[in-house]
């Protein structure tokens, strides 16, 4: 389990995941609107987390650790999009509308 | 030589600071819930990566438990925000209460 090619793959995956995590954090901090912030947080929750966990799998030393990482990956794969969808649905039901157009006007059904 | 786990830990810590800033400054309550949910996901990743960094991958058990708790907490807070109640709010319950 300690081939050099595995270490190279681990570097590639973990650095890509860290980069996507940083991009998601910047978007969560900088984007103007709640629904666009969901998009930025979704980058962190999906690809950032998956790439970091896959990179950890390449550098794990036993099969039990790999199995735990697979379980963690499946949990995140199931729960993160579900949480994002439920959050957007709850916000839309409560009357929050996305900003639409070049001037970022609040749009939606009831305009 | 810097390890990849140290680099990932630094990136996750920087990103958690950004998420906390959004959670404190968020204009609506949904921004805060989103930031806290994202913070929880990053905490799961940080626990896993730190386990590898310190040479003790048994920390993955904590990461698994934290992932499940984070999901349950987000769904509970969201249901409370949407319905104002954590109990069942079906149409049948509303009819029976009237």
What is the mean pLDDT of each successive set of 10 residues along chain A, which is 111 residues long? 77 91 90 88 88 89 88 88 85 79 65 46
Q: Residue A111: what pLDDT?
A: 46
Q: Residue B46: what pLDDT?
A: 92
Alpha helices in B1-98 (DSSP H): 4-25, 29-53, 60-83, 91-97
| Beta-carbon separation of A10 and B4 below 8 A | yes
| Beta-carbon separation of A65 and B57 below 8 A | yes
A36-45, B8-17, B89-98: least confident range: B89-98
Round to whole Å and give the CA distance between A73 and A69: 6
Domain that holds residue B35: 4-97
User: How many domains is chain B built from?
Assistant: 1
CATH number at residue B16: 1.10.287
Q: What is the bridge-based pairing of β-strands A99-100 and A105-106?
A: antiparallel
Q: Measure the N-to-C terminal CA separation of chain B; round to a whole number of Å.
A: 70
Instruction: Output B90 or B76, whichever has higher pLDDT.
Output: B76
Task: Quote ipTM for the complex.
Answer: 0.84
3-state helix, strand, coil in chain A (%, to 5): 75, 5, 20
Q: Residue B16: what pLDDT?
A: 92
| Beta-carbon separation of A14 and B5 below 8 A | yes
Residue B97 burial (C-beta neighbours within 10 Å; 0-12, 13-18, 19+): exposed
Q: Provide the mean pLDDT of chain B.
A: 82
- Best residue in B8, B39, B44 for a mutation probing chain A (most A CBs within 10 Å): B8
Q: Residue B55: what pLDDT?
A: 83
| A21 close to B (CB below 8 A) | yes
pLDDT digits (tens, 9 = 90+) for B69-88: 888 888 887 777 777 666 65
| Beta-carbon separation of B67 and A72 below 8 A | yes
In this prediction the pTM is 0.83
Polymer length of chain B: 98
Token pair 């996901």 is found at: B41
């Amino acid at each position: 389990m300690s081939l050099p090619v595995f270490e190279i793959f681990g570097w590639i995956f973990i650095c890509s995941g860290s980069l996507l995590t940083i991009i998601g954090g910047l978007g969560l901090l900088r984007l103007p609107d709640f629904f666009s912030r969901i998009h930025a947080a979704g980058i962190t929750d999906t690809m950032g987390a998956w790439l970091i966990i896959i990179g950890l799998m390449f550098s794990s030393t036993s099969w039990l650790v790999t199995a735990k990482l697979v379980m963690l990956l499946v949990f995140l794969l199931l729960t993160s999009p579900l949480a994002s969808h439920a959050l957007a649905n709850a916000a839309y039901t409560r009357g929050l509308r996305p900003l639409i157009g070049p001037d970022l006007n609040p749009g939606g059904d009831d305009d | 030589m810097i390890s990849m786990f140290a680099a990932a830990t630094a990136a996750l810590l920087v990103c958690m600071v950004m998420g906390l800033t959004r959670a404190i400054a968020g204009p609506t309550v949904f921004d805060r819930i989103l930031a806290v949910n994202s913070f929880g996901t990053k905490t799961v990743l940080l626990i896993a990566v730190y386990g590898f960094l310190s040479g003790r991958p048994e920390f993955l058990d904590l990461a698994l438990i934290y992932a499940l708790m984070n999901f349950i907490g987000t769904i509970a807070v969201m249901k409370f925000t949407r319905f104002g109640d954590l109990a069942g709010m079906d149409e049948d319950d509303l009819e029976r209460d009237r």
